[in-house]
Structure 1
Amino acid sequence: MTPTTSRTTALVTGASAGLGHEFARQLAAQGHDVVLVARNAARLAETAEDLRRRYGITAEVLPADLTDEDDVAAVVERLEDSARPVGILVNNAGIGLLHNFDENQASDEKKHLRLHAETSMVLTHAALKGMLERGGGRIINVASVAAFLPRGTYSAAKAWLVSFSRWANLAYRNRGIKVTAVCPGFTHTEFHDRMGMDKSVAPSWTWLRADRVVREGLADNERGKAVSIPSKRYKAVVALAKVAPTRLMAGPARKPK
Protein backbone atom coordinates (compact mmCIF):
# COMPACT_ATOMS: atom_id res chain seq x y z
CA MET A 1 0.00 0.00 0.00
CA THR A 2 1.07 3.58 -0.63
CA PRO A 3 1.28 5.56 2.63
CA THR A 4 -1.50 8.11 3.02
CA THR A 5 -0.73 11.82 3.03
CA SER A 6 -2.72 12.42 6.22
CA ARG A 7 -1.23 10.54 9.16
CA THR A 8 -3.52 9.88 12.06
CA THR A 9 -3.90 7.41 14.93
CA ALA A 10 -6.06 4.30 14.58
CA LEU A 11 -7.30 2.33 17.59
CA VAL A 12 -8.01 -1.32 16.77
CA THR A 13 -9.68 -3.77 19.15
CA GLY A 14 -8.94 -7.47 18.96
CA ALA A 15 -5.63 -6.50 17.41
CA SER A 16 -3.54 -9.46 18.53
CA ALA A 17 -4.85 -11.87 15.88
CA GLY A 18 -7.10 -12.37 12.88
CA LEU A 19 -8.89 -9.46 11.26
CA GLY A 20 -7.85 -7.07 14.02
CA HIS A 21 -4.19 -7.85 13.45
CA GLU A 22 -4.67 -7.37 9.71
CA PHE A 23 -6.49 -4.06 10.19
CA ALA A 24 -3.61 -2.84 12.33
CA ARG A 25 -1.06 -4.01 9.76
CA GLN A 26 -2.77 -2.43 6.77
CA LEU A 27 -3.40 0.85 8.59
CA ALA A 28 0.25 0.94 9.69
CA ALA A 29 1.28 0.24 6.10
CA GLN A 30 -0.74 3.29 5.06
CA GLY A 31 1.34 5.34 7.51
CA HIS A 32 -1.05 5.58 10.44
CA ASP A 33 0.05 5.26 14.06
CA VAL A 34 -1.86 2.57 15.96
CA VAL A 35 -3.22 1.78 19.40
CA LEU A 36 -3.56 -1.98 19.78
CA VAL A 37 -6.21 -3.35 22.14
CA ALA A 38 -6.69 -7.02 23.09
CA ARG A 39 -6.48 -9.33 26.10
CA ASN A 40 -3.15 -10.96 25.27
CA ALA A 41 -0.50 -8.42 26.33
CA ALA A 42 2.42 -10.51 25.11
CA ARG A 43 1.01 -10.90 21.59
CA LEU A 44 0.12 -7.21 21.49
CA ALA A 45 3.67 -6.24 22.40
CA GLU A 46 5.03 -8.54 19.69
CA THR A 47 2.65 -7.08 17.11
CA ALA A 48 3.48 -3.51 18.11
CA GLU A 49 7.21 -4.11 17.78
CA ASP A 50 6.77 -5.72 14.37
CA LEU A 51 4.68 -2.79 13.09
CA ARG A 52 7.16 -0.22 14.39
CA ARG A 53 10.04 -2.03 12.72
CA ARG A 54 8.32 -2.64 9.38
CA TYR A 55 6.51 0.65 8.89
CA GLY A 56 8.22 3.22 11.11
CA ILE A 57 5.02 4.19 12.89
CA THR A 58 4.18 4.63 16.58
CA ALA A 59 2.41 1.64 18.11
CA GLU A 60 0.85 1.77 21.57
CA VAL A 61 -0.26 -1.30 23.50
CA LEU A 62 -3.42 -1.26 25.63
CA PRO A 63 -4.23 -4.70 27.09
CA ALA A 64 -7.94 -4.96 27.88
CA ASP A 65 -10.75 -7.49 28.20
CA LEU A 66 -13.62 -5.69 26.50
CA THR A 67 -16.24 -7.67 28.39
CA ASP A 68 -14.93 -6.11 31.62
CA GLU A 69 -16.35 -2.68 32.52
CA ASP A 70 -13.12 -1.37 34.05
CA ASP A 71 -11.09 -2.40 31.00
CA VAL A 72 -13.65 -0.82 28.66
CA ALA A 73 -13.38 2.36 30.74
CA ALA A 74 -9.62 2.40 30.16
CA VAL A 75 -10.13 2.26 26.39
CA VAL A 76 -12.80 4.99 26.62
CA GLU A 77 -10.30 7.16 28.49
CA ARG A 78 -7.75 6.68 25.71
CA LEU A 79 -10.31 7.53 23.02
CA GLU A 80 -11.33 10.71 24.88
CA ASP A 81 -7.75 11.93 25.35
CA SER A 82 -7.77 15.13 23.29
CA ALA A 83 -4.00 15.47 23.59
CA ARG A 84 -3.59 12.19 21.65
CA PRO A 85 -6.52 12.16 19.22
CA VAL A 86 -7.75 8.97 17.61
CA GLY A 87 -8.95 9.55 14.06
CA ILE A 88 -9.83 5.95 13.15
CA LEU A 89 -11.65 3.43 15.37
CA VAL A 90 -11.93 -0.22 14.40
CA ASN A 91 -14.35 -2.16 16.61
CA ASN A 92 -13.20 -5.65 15.73
CA ALA A 93 -13.02 -7.67 18.97
CA GLY A 94 -15.43 -10.58 18.96
CA ILE A 95 -16.15 -14.07 20.22
CA GLY A 96 -18.27 -16.95 18.99
CA LEU A 97 -20.43 -19.48 20.80
CA LEU A 98 -20.30 -23.00 19.44
CA HIS A 99 -23.54 -24.39 20.85
CA ASN A 100 -27.21 -23.58 20.39
CA PHE A 101 -28.82 -20.82 22.46
CA ASP A 102 -30.60 -23.23 24.81
CA GLU A 103 -27.32 -25.10 25.47
CA ASN A 104 -25.30 -21.99 26.38
CA GLN A 105 -25.09 -20.40 29.80
CA ALA A 106 -26.99 -17.11 30.01
CA SER A 107 -23.82 -15.51 31.39
CA ASP A 108 -21.94 -16.48 28.21
CA GLU A 109 -24.73 -15.08 26.05
CA LYS A 110 -24.61 -11.80 28.01
CA LYS A 111 -20.84 -11.54 27.52
CA HIS A 112 -21.27 -12.31 23.82
CA LEU A 113 -23.91 -9.59 23.36
CA ARG A 114 -21.99 -7.08 25.46
CA LEU A 115 -18.81 -7.46 23.44
CA HIS A 116 -20.40 -7.25 19.99
CA ALA A 117 -23.05 -4.60 20.62
CA GLU A 118 -22.67 -2.71 23.88
CA THR A 119 -18.88 -2.33 23.83
CA SER A 120 -18.86 -1.24 20.18
CA MET A 121 -21.54 1.35 20.98
CA VAL A 122 -19.66 2.66 24.03
CA LEU A 123 -16.34 2.96 22.18
CA THR A 124 -18.01 4.63 19.21
CA HIS A 125 -19.66 7.13 21.55
CA ALA A 126 -16.28 7.87 23.15
CA ALA A 127 -14.55 8.38 19.81
CA LEU A 128 -17.27 10.49 18.20
CA LYS A 129 -16.98 13.59 20.38
CA GLY A 130 -13.38 14.29 19.43
CA MET A 131 -13.98 13.39 15.79
CA LEU A 132 -16.89 15.83 15.59
CA GLU A 133 -14.85 18.57 17.23
CA ARG A 134 -12.05 18.02 14.70
CA GLY A 135 -14.49 17.77 11.78
CA GLY A 136 -13.60 14.28 10.63
CA GLY A 137 -13.01 10.66 11.52
CA ARG A 138 -13.53 7.07 10.49
CA ILE A 139 -15.26 4.23 12.36
CA ILE A 140 -15.30 0.61 11.23
CA ASN A 141 -17.53 -1.90 13.00
CA VAL A 142 -16.65 -5.47 12.09
CA ALA A 143 -19.98 -7.22 11.72
CA SER A 144 -20.64 -10.32 9.62
CA VAL A 145 -22.62 -11.56 6.66
CA ALA A 146 -24.41 -13.54 9.40
CA ALA A 147 -26.21 -10.27 10.20
CA PHE A 148 -28.39 -10.97 7.16
CA LEU A 149 -28.95 -14.66 7.96
CA PRO A 150 -30.80 -16.63 10.68
CA ARG A 151 -27.75 -17.78 12.65
CA GLY A 152 -28.74 -17.42 16.32
CA THR A 153 -27.62 -14.73 18.71
CA TYR A 154 -24.42 -14.09 16.76
CA SER A 155 -26.55 -13.00 13.80
CA ALA A 156 -28.76 -10.94 16.10
CA ALA A 157 -25.80 -9.09 17.64
CA LYS A 158 -24.21 -8.42 14.26
CA ALA A 159 -27.56 -7.26 12.84
CA TRP A 160 -27.66 -4.66 15.61
CA LEU A 161 -24.17 -3.54 14.64
CA VAL A 162 -25.13 -3.21 10.96
CA SER A 163 -28.25 -1.20 11.78
CA PHE A 164 -26.31 1.04 14.17
CA SER A 165 -23.58 1.65 11.58
CA ARG A 166 -26.09 2.50 8.86
CA TRP A 167 -27.77 5.04 11.10
CA ALA A 168 -24.48 6.54 12.35
CA ASN A 169 -23.11 6.91 8.82
CA LEU A 170 -26.29 8.72 7.76
CA ALA A 171 -26.38 10.89 10.90
CA TYR A 172 -22.73 12.01 10.89
CA ARG A 173 -21.43 11.82 7.34
CA ASN A 174 -22.25 15.48 6.69
CA ARG A 175 -20.03 16.29 9.67
CA GLY A 176 -17.06 14.40 8.25
CA ILE A 177 -17.52 11.03 9.98
CA LYS A 178 -17.55 7.84 7.91
CA VAL A 179 -19.05 4.81 9.66
CA THR A 180 -18.97 1.38 8.01
CA ALA A 181 -20.12 -2.08 9.05
CA VAL A 182 -17.73 -4.57 7.44
CA CYS A 183 -19.55 -7.87 6.92
CA PRO A 184 -17.27 -10.75 5.95
CA GLY A 185 -18.33 -14.34 5.54
CA PHE A 186 -16.16 -17.25 6.66
CA THR A 187 -12.61 -15.95 6.91
CA HIS A 188 -9.33 -17.73 7.59
CA THR A 189 -8.45 -16.50 11.11
CA GLU A 190 -8.22 -18.01 14.60
CA PHE A 191 -11.86 -17.13 15.31
CA HIS A 192 -13.41 -20.51 14.53
CA ASP A 193 -10.50 -22.42 16.06
CA ARG A 194 -11.03 -20.57 19.35
CA MET A 195 -14.69 -21.59 19.22
CA GLY A 196 -13.62 -25.19 18.77
CA MET A 197 -15.63 -25.38 15.54
CA ASP A 198 -15.04 -27.98 12.84
CA LYS A 199 -14.33 -25.72 9.87
CA SER A 200 -14.89 -28.53 7.36
CA VAL A 201 -18.66 -27.94 7.62
CA ALA A 202 -18.18 -24.93 5.32
CA PRO A 203 -17.06 -25.64 1.71
CA SER A 204 -13.66 -24.36 0.67
CA TRP A 205 -15.15 -21.76 -1.72
CA THR A 206 -16.83 -19.97 1.19
CA TRP A 207 -13.55 -19.05 2.91
CA LEU A 208 -11.99 -15.61 2.42
CA ARG A 209 -8.50 -14.33 3.20
CA ALA A 210 -8.18 -11.78 5.99
CA ASP A 211 -6.10 -9.40 3.87
CA ARG A 212 -8.84 -9.21 1.24
CA VAL A 213 -11.58 -8.58 3.81
CA VAL A 214 -9.62 -5.75 5.40
CA ARG A 215 -8.49 -4.22 2.11
CA GLU A 216 -12.06 -4.06 0.77
CA GLY A 217 -13.44 -2.91 4.11
CA LEU A 218 -10.97 -0.03 4.40
CA ALA A 219 -11.63 1.02 0.81
CA ASP A 220 -15.40 1.00 1.31
CA ASN A 221 -15.03 3.02 4.52
CA GLU A 222 -12.83 5.52 2.72
CA ARG A 223 -15.58 5.88 0.12
CA GLY A 224 -18.17 6.48 2.85
CA LYS A 225 -20.17 3.27 2.39
CA ALA A 226 -22.34 2.31 5.36
CA VAL A 227 -22.08 -1.44 4.70
CA SER A 228 -19.17 -3.34 3.17
CA ILE A 229 -19.63 -6.95 2.05
CA PRO A 230 -16.29 -8.27 0.80
CA SER A 231 -16.35 -10.47 -2.32
CA LYS A 232 -18.98 -10.98 -4.98
CA ARG A 233 -19.87 -14.38 -3.59
CA TYR A 234 -21.06 -12.93 -0.29
CA LYS A 235 -22.79 -10.00 -1.96
CA ALA A 236 -24.78 -12.67 -3.80
CA VAL A 237 -25.52 -14.51 -0.55
CA VAL A 238 -26.91 -11.33 1.02
CA ALA A 239 -29.01 -10.57 -2.06
CA LEU A 240 -30.39 -14.11 -2.02
CA ALA A 241 -31.17 -13.87 1.71
CA LYS A 242 -33.66 -11.09 0.96
CA VAL A 243 -35.89 -13.39 -1.11
CA ALA A 244 -35.03 -16.99 -0.19
CA PRO A 245 -36.85 -19.03 2.49
CA THR A 246 -35.38 -18.59 5.96
CA ARG A 247 -34.63 -22.29 6.37
CA LEU A 248 -32.57 -22.31 3.16
CA MET A 249 -30.38 -19.45 4.39
CA ALA A 250 -29.65 -20.87 7.84
CA GLY A 251 -26.40 -22.37 6.56
CA PRO A 252 -24.45 -25.36 7.88
CA ALA A 253 -24.87 -26.31 11.51
CA ARG A 254 -21.90 -25.61 13.76
CA LYS A 255 -20.26 -28.67 15.24
CA PRO A 256 -17.17 -29.20 17.39
CA LYS A 257 -13.89 -30.52 16.05
Structure 2
Amino acid sequence: MTTALITGATAGIGAAFARRLAHDGHDVVLVARSAERLREHATELHDRHGVEASVLTADLSREEGIAAVEERLGDRARPVDLLVNNAGFGLQGRYLEVPLADELTMLRVHCEAVLRLTTAAVPVMRERRRGGVVNVASVAAFVPRGTYGASKAWVVQFTQGVARDMGGTGVRLMVLCPGFVRTEFHQRAGMDTGGVPGWMWLDADRVVDAGLRDLARGKSLSLPDPRYKALMGAAKLVPRGMLSRVSSTTGRRFGPK
Protein backbone atom coordinates (compact mmCIF):
# COMPACT_ATOMS: atom_id res chain seq x y z
CA MET A 1 0.00 0.00 0.00
CA THR A 2 1.34 3.42 -0.96
CA THR A 3 1.01 6.78 0.76
CA ALA A 4 -0.05 10.13 -0.70
CA LEU A 5 0.39 13.50 0.98
CA ILE A 6 -2.00 16.25 -0.10
CA THR A 7 -1.77 19.91 0.92
CA GLY A 8 -4.90 22.02 1.03
CA ALA A 9 -6.76 18.76 1.58
CA THR A 10 -9.93 19.90 3.33
CA ALA A 11 -11.82 21.35 0.35
CA GLY A 12 -11.98 21.63 -3.42
CA ILE A 13 -9.37 19.95 -5.58
CA GLY A 14 -7.33 18.85 -2.56
CA ALA A 15 -10.30 17.08 -0.99
CA ALA A 16 -11.11 15.50 -4.36
CA PHE A 17 -7.55 14.13 -4.60
CA ALA A 18 -7.87 12.71 -1.09
CA ARG A 19 -11.19 11.01 -1.89
CA ARG A 20 -9.95 9.51 -5.14
CA LEU A 21 -6.64 8.29 -3.75
CA ALA A 22 -8.27 6.78 -0.65
CA HIS A 23 -10.86 5.10 -2.89
CA ASP A 24 -7.98 3.57 -4.87
CA GLY A 25 -6.49 2.13 -1.66
CA HIS A 26 -3.75 4.64 -0.88
CA ASP A 27 -3.06 5.72 2.67
CA VAL A 28 -3.27 9.51 2.87
CA VAL A 29 -1.63 12.30 4.84
CA LEU A 30 -3.92 15.32 4.85
CA VAL A 31 -2.34 18.75 5.30
CA ALA A 32 -4.21 22.01 5.95
CA ARG A 33 -4.57 24.78 8.51
CA SER A 34 -7.86 23.66 10.08
CA ALA A 35 -7.30 20.80 12.52
CA GLU A 36 -11.01 20.17 13.02
CA ARG A 37 -11.81 19.90 9.31
CA LEU A 38 -8.76 17.69 8.79
CA ARG A 39 -9.86 15.27 11.49
CA GLU A 40 -13.41 15.10 10.12
CA HIS A 41 -12.15 14.43 6.59
CA ALA A 42 -9.62 11.83 7.77
CA THR A 43 -12.24 9.97 9.79
CA GLU A 44 -14.60 9.89 6.82
CA LEU A 45 -11.92 8.53 4.48
CA HIS A 46 -10.82 5.88 6.99
CA ASP A 47 -14.36 4.73 7.69
CA ARG A 48 -15.40 4.66 4.05
CA HIS A 49 -12.30 3.17 2.42
CA GLY A 50 -10.43 1.39 5.23
CA VAL A 51 -7.18 3.26 4.61
CA GLU A 52 -4.91 4.96 7.10
CA ALA A 53 -5.72 8.67 7.02
CA SER A 54 -3.43 10.81 9.14
CA VAL A 55 -3.51 14.58 9.60
CA LEU A 56 -0.80 17.21 9.70
CA THR A 57 -1.97 20.66 10.71
CA ALA A 58 0.30 23.17 8.99
CA ASP A 59 0.02 26.72 7.67
CA LEU A 60 2.17 26.88 4.55
CA SER A 61 2.33 30.66 4.76
CA ARG A 62 4.54 30.28 7.84
CA GLU A 63 8.06 28.89 8.18
CA GLU A 64 7.11 26.37 10.85
CA GLY A 65 4.29 25.05 8.68
CA ILE A 66 6.50 24.43 5.67
CA ALA A 67 9.21 22.91 7.88
CA ALA A 68 6.74 20.46 9.46
CA VAL A 69 5.65 19.13 6.08
CA GLU A 70 9.27 18.97 4.88
CA GLU A 71 10.10 16.81 7.88
CA ARG A 72 7.24 14.40 7.14
CA LEU A 73 8.22 14.12 3.47
CA GLY A 74 11.82 13.39 4.38
CA ASP A 75 10.91 10.54 6.76
CA ARG A 76 12.45 7.48 5.09
CA ALA A 77 10.78 5.15 7.58
CA ARG A 78 7.36 6.32 6.33
CA PRO A 79 7.94 7.22 2.70
CA VAL A 80 5.47 9.27 0.69
CA ASP A 81 4.90 7.89 -2.80
CA LEU A 82 2.79 10.75 -4.17
CA LEU A 83 2.94 14.41 -3.19
CA VAL A 84 0.11 16.71 -4.26
CA ASN A 85 1.00 20.38 -3.78
CA ASN A 86 -2.48 21.85 -3.94
CA ALA A 87 -2.59 24.55 -1.25
CA GLY A 88 -3.29 28.01 -2.62
CA PHE A 89 -5.53 31.06 -2.50
CA GLY A 90 -6.59 34.15 -4.43
CA LEU A 91 -6.42 37.83 -3.50
CA GLN A 92 -9.14 40.47 -3.63
CA GLY A 93 -7.91 43.38 -5.72
CA ARG A 94 -5.56 44.30 -8.50
CA TYR A 95 -1.90 45.35 -8.31
CA LEU A 96 -1.36 48.20 -5.78
CA GLU A 97 -4.82 47.52 -4.34
CA VAL A 98 -3.48 44.50 -2.44
CA PRO A 99 -1.06 44.94 0.49
CA LEU A 100 2.47 43.89 -0.38
CA ALA A 101 2.52 41.57 2.64
CA ASP A 102 -0.40 39.63 1.14
CA GLU A 103 1.37 39.37 -2.23
CA LEU A 104 4.46 38.00 -0.49
CA THR A 105 2.35 35.50 1.43
CA MET A 106 0.91 34.27 -1.87
CA LEU A 107 4.40 33.81 -3.30
CA ARG A 108 5.43 31.85 -0.20
CA VAL A 109 2.45 29.45 -0.48
CA HIS A 110 2.42 29.12 -4.28
CA CYS A 111 6.17 29.15 -4.95
CA GLU A 112 8.38 28.71 -1.88
CA ALA A 113 6.26 25.95 -0.37
CA VAL A 114 6.03 24.10 -3.70
CA LEU A 115 9.79 24.35 -4.19
CA ARG A 116 10.66 23.23 -0.69
CA LEU A 117 8.13 20.41 -0.42
CA THR A 118 9.04 19.05 -3.84
CA THR A 119 12.71 19.20 -2.88
CA ALA A 120 11.98 17.36 0.37
CA ALA A 121 10.01 14.60 -1.37
CA VAL A 122 11.96 13.89 -4.55
CA PRO A 123 15.27 12.61 -3.06
CA VAL A 124 13.44 9.91 -1.07
CA MET A 125 11.44 8.95 -4.16
CA ARG A 126 14.58 8.84 -6.30
CA GLU A 127 16.31 6.54 -3.82
CA ARG A 128 13.35 4.13 -4.10
CA ARG A 129 13.17 4.68 -7.88
CA ARG A 130 9.47 5.42 -7.78
CA GLY A 131 7.16 8.23 -6.86
CA GLY A 132 5.29 11.19 -8.19
CA VAL A 133 4.61 14.88 -7.57
CA VAL A 134 1.54 16.75 -8.79
CA ASN A 135 1.75 20.52 -8.48
CA VAL A 136 -1.60 22.23 -8.92
CA ALA A 137 -1.42 25.46 -10.93
CA SER A 138 -4.07 27.07 -13.15
CA VAL A 139 -4.78 28.15 -16.72
CA ALA A 140 -4.10 31.62 -15.26
CA ALA A 141 -0.44 30.66 -15.69
CA PHE A 142 -0.79 31.18 -19.44
CA VAL A 143 -2.24 34.70 -19.45
CA PRO A 144 -0.75 37.96 -18.10
CA ARG A 145 -2.81 38.49 -14.96
CA GLY A 146 -1.04 39.77 -11.84
CA THR A 147 0.73 37.96 -9.03
CA TYR A 148 -1.63 34.99 -9.00
CA GLY A 149 -1.01 34.19 -12.67
CA ALA A 150 2.71 34.90 -12.31
CA SER A 151 3.03 32.54 -9.35
CA LYS A 152 1.22 29.79 -11.23
CA ALA A 153 3.41 30.37 -14.29
CA TRP A 154 6.40 29.76 -12.01
CA VAL A 155 4.84 26.47 -10.87
CA VAL A 156 4.42 25.38 -14.50
CA GLN A 157 8.00 26.19 -15.48
CA PHE A 158 9.49 24.72 -12.31
CA THR A 159 7.55 21.47 -12.55
CA GLN A 160 8.27 20.86 -16.22
CA GLY A 161 11.95 21.64 -15.71
CA VAL A 162 12.31 19.25 -12.79
CA ALA A 163 10.33 16.60 -14.70
CA ARG A 164 13.01 16.71 -17.41
CA ASP A 165 15.80 16.54 -14.83
CA MET A 166 14.19 13.49 -13.21
CA GLY A 167 13.84 11.58 -16.47
CA GLY A 168 14.85 7.93 -16.06
CA THR A 169 14.84 8.03 -12.25
CA GLY A 170 11.38 6.54 -11.76
CA VAL A 171 10.06 9.84 -10.35
CA ARG A 172 7.33 11.62 -12.30
CA LEU A 173 6.37 15.26 -11.95
CA MET A 174 3.32 16.90 -13.47
CA VAL A 175 1.65 20.29 -13.22
CA LEU A 176 -2.15 20.31 -13.25
CA CYS A 177 -3.74 23.42 -14.78
CA PRO A 178 -7.53 23.55 -14.41
CA GLY A 179 -9.79 26.47 -15.25
CA PHE A 180 -12.81 27.51 -13.18
CA VAL A 181 -13.58 24.70 -10.72
CA ARG A 182 -16.59 24.59 -8.40
CA THR A 183 -14.84 24.89 -5.03
CA GLU A 184 -14.65 27.34 -2.12
CA PHE A 185 -11.71 29.13 -3.79
CA HIS A 186 -13.54 32.08 -5.35
CA GLN A 187 -15.84 32.60 -2.39
CA ARG A 188 -12.90 32.75 0.01
CA ALA A 189 -11.24 35.40 -2.18
CA GLY A 190 -14.43 37.45 -2.37
CA MET A 191 -14.71 36.99 -6.13
CA ASP A 192 -17.93 37.55 -8.05
CA THR A 193 -18.27 34.64 -10.47
CA GLY A 194 -21.97 35.03 -11.21
CA GLY A 195 -21.24 35.99 -14.81
CA VAL A 196 -18.99 33.04 -15.61
CA PRO A 197 -20.70 30.94 -18.32
CA GLY A 198 -21.85 27.54 -17.10
CA TRP A 199 -19.79 25.70 -19.71
CA MET A 200 -16.56 27.09 -18.20
CA TRP A 201 -17.09 25.42 -14.83
CA LEU A 202 -15.38 22.12 -14.07
CA ASP A 203 -16.09 19.47 -11.44
CA ALA A 204 -13.24 18.89 -8.96
CA ASP A 205 -13.56 15.09 -9.04
CA ARG A 206 -13.37 15.04 -12.84
CA VAL A 207 -10.36 17.36 -12.76
CA VAL A 208 -8.59 14.92 -10.45
CA ASP A 209 -9.54 11.90 -12.56
CA ALA A 210 -8.12 13.55 -15.68
CA GLY A 211 -4.99 14.67 -13.86
CA LEU A 212 -4.20 11.21 -12.50
CA ARG A 213 -4.73 9.70 -15.96
CA ASP A 214 -2.24 12.18 -17.40
CA LEU A 215 0.25 11.44 -14.61
CA ALA A 216 0.00 7.71 -15.36
CA ARG A 217 0.67 8.49 -19.04
CA GLY A 218 3.86 10.31 -18.12
CA LYS A 219 2.71 13.81 -19.04
CA SER A 220 4.39 16.77 -17.35
CA LEU A 221 1.47 19.15 -18.06
CA SER A 222 -2.22 18.39 -17.68
CA LEU A 223 -5.01 20.61 -18.99
CA PRO A 224 -7.85 18.49 -17.65
CA ASP A 225 -10.66 19.39 -20.05
CA PRO A 226 -10.99 19.63 -23.86
CA ARG A 227 -12.65 23.05 -23.60
CA TYR A 228 -9.70 24.58 -21.83
CA LYS A 229 -7.24 22.83 -24.13
CA ALA A 230 -8.99 24.55 -27.03
CA LEU A 231 -9.01 27.92 -25.25
CA MET A 232 -5.32 27.74 -24.38
CA GLY A 233 -4.50 26.67 -27.93
CA ALA A 234 -6.38 29.68 -29.27
CA ALA A 235 -4.66 31.97 -26.77
CA LYS A 236 -1.28 31.12 -28.31
CA LEU A 237 -2.48 32.68 -31.58
CA VAL A 238 -3.56 35.97 -29.99
CA PRO A 239 -1.00 38.84 -29.88
CA ARG A 240 0.41 39.31 -26.38
CA GLY A 241 -0.88 42.87 -26.02
CA MET A 242 -4.42 41.89 -26.98
CA LEU A 243 -4.29 38.89 -24.64
CA SER A 244 -3.23 41.18 -21.80
CA ARG A 245 -6.16 43.53 -22.43
CA VAL A 246 -8.65 40.64 -22.61
CA SER A 247 -7.23 39.10 -19.44
CA SER A 248 -7.48 42.41 -17.57
CA THR A 249 -11.07 42.96 -18.71
CA THR A 250 -12.04 39.41 -17.77
CA GLY A 251 -10.39 39.80 -14.38
CA ARG A 252 -12.42 42.94 -13.65
CA ARG A 253 -15.62 41.25 -14.76
CA PHE A 254 -15.21 37.92 -12.99
CA GLY A 255 -12.72 38.95 -10.32
CA PRO A 256 -13.03 40.44 -6.85
CA LYS A 257 -16.18 42.35 -5.92
Q: Match of 2:192, as an amino acid? A: D
The match for 2:147 is 153
The answer for the alignment partner of 2:101 in structure 1 is 107
Which one-letter code corresponds to 1:206 in the other structure? Answer: M
Secondary structure at the counterpart of residue 93 of structure 2: coil
- 2:12 aligned partner: 18
Amino acid at match of 2:12: G
Q: Tell me the SS of whatever aligns to 2:60.
A: coil
Instruction: Classify the secondary structure of the residue corresponding to 2:166.
Output: helix
1:32 aligns with 2:26: yes
State the superposition RMSD in angstroms. 1.1
User: Among 207, 210, 220, which residue is 1:213 paired with?
Assistant: 207
Contact 1:96-1:195 within 8 A present in 2 as well: yes
The answer (yes or no) to whether the contact 1:201–1:252 under 8 Å persists in 2 is no
Q: Partners of 2:121 and 2:149 in 1: how far apart?
A: 25
Task: Tell me if structure 2 keeps the 8 A contact 1:120–1:141.
Answer: yes
Report Cα offsets for 1:189-212 as digits up to 9, x if no partner: 000010011111321111100011
Distance 1:48 1:107 in 2: 33
- Partner residue, 1:179: 173
TM-score (norm 1): 0.95
Q: Secondary structure at the match of 1:77?
A: helix
Distance 1:255 1:223 in 2: 34
Deviation, 1:256, is 4.0
Deviations, residues 51-108 of structure 1 (Å, cap 9, x unaligned): 0011110011000100100111111000000100001000000010120011000000
Structure 1 CA distance for aligned equivalents of residues 184 and 216 of structure 2 = 27
Aligned equivalents of 1:173, 1:26: Cα separation in 2: 26
Structure 1 distance, partners of 2:21, 2:162, is: 22
Describe the superposition over 1:132-167 as per-residue Cα deviations: whole angstroms up to 9, x where unpaired: 100011100000011001221111000000001111
**Partners of 1:255 and 1:228 in 2: CA distance:** 24
Q: Give the one of 176, 185, 189 matched to 2:183.
A: 189
**Residue type at the aligned position of 2:142:** F
Number of residues of Structure 1 aligned to a counterpart in Structure 2: 251
Partners of 1:162 and 1:154 lie apart in 2 by 13
Residue 61 of structure 2: SS of its match in structure 1? Answer: coil
Matches of 1:157 and 1:18, distance apart in 2: 19
Match of 2:246 in 1: 248
Equivalent residues in 2 for 1:1-257, closer than 5 Å: 7-244=1-238, 245-246=242-243, 247-250=245-248, 251-253=250-252, 254-257=254-257
Displacement of 1:249: 4.5
* Structure 1 SS opposite 2:133: strand
Output the CA distance in 2 between the equivalents of 1:249 and 1:48: 39
Compared CA separation, residues 255 and 129, structure 1 to 2 (3 A): closer
Return the letter of the residue paired with 1:86.
V
SS in 2 for 1:174: coil
Instruction: Determine the C-alpha separation between the residues in 2 that align with 1:165 and 1:189.
Output: 24
Which one-letter code corresponds to 1:23 in the other structure? Answer: F
User: With structure 2 as the length reference, what TM-score do the two structures score?
Assistant: 0.95
Segments of structure 1 that go 5 or more residues without pairing to the other structure are 1-6
- The letter of the residue matching 2:201 is W
Whole-angstrom distance in 2 between the partners of 1:256 and 1:106: 17
- Residue pair 1:202, 1:252 contacting (<8 A) in 2 also: no
